[in-house]
Amino acid sequence: MEDRPKIGIGVIVVKNNKVLVGKRKGPHGKGTWSFPGGHLEFNEEVEDCAKREVLEETGIFIRNIRKATFTNDIHKKEGKHYVTLFLIADYDRGKPKVMEPDRCEKWG
């Protein structure tokens, strides 16, 4: 297990009272649905990370980002520990598309 937890960002993108989720591929969470997001980089603001990750993963732009909640996720079997910060954001523009086909099957 690593010495310190990593910080993850999960972004709840809202459009017309619906949220955007992606069907995961790969070893962690394969076949499950999750929000777009990723790792917070050193010296990166949480809101900037949310914008970057959503754009990198979905090709869409978000606005009106606000803090929601967090989880403390300890995965002993995988030797991983994450604190995930969840944010809520409004859809701004663009059409969701799979930008990382090795990690995401589809957006819905």
Assign residue 13 the CATH number of its domain. 3.90.79.10
Which pLDDT score, from 0 to 100, does residue 1 have? 47
Q: Is residue 53 part of a domain?
A: yes
Which pLDDT score, from 0 to 100, does residue 28 have? 72
Amino acid identity, residue 76?
K
Residues 20, 107: contact at Cβ < 8 Å? Answer: yes
Mean pLDDT, residues 24-51: 93
Q: Count up the domains in the chain and report the number.
A: 1
Which pLDDT score, from 0 to 100, does residue 78 have? 84
Q: Is 95 strand, coil or helix?
A: coil
Structural domain boundaries, residue 27: 6-94
> Which pLDDT band, with edges at 50, 70 and 90, does 2 fall under?
low
Alpha helices in 40-91 (DSSP H): 46-58
Q: Is residue 104 part of a domain?
A: no
Distance CA(54)–CA(95), nearest Å, equals 12
pLDDT at 103 over 60: yes
> Which pLDDT band, with edges at 50, 70 and 90, does 29 fall under?
confident
Backbone angles phi, psi at 78, to 5 degrees: -90, -10
Structure tokens at 77: 């079997």
Mean pLDDT, residues 65-85: 94
Whole-structure pTM value: 0.92
Backbone region of residue 58 per phi and psi (left: phi > 0; alpha: psi in -120 to 50; beta: other values): alpha
Q: Is residue 62 part of a domain?
A: yes
Residues 54, 9: contact at Cβ < 8 Å? Answer: no
Q: Is residue 106 part of a domain?
A: no
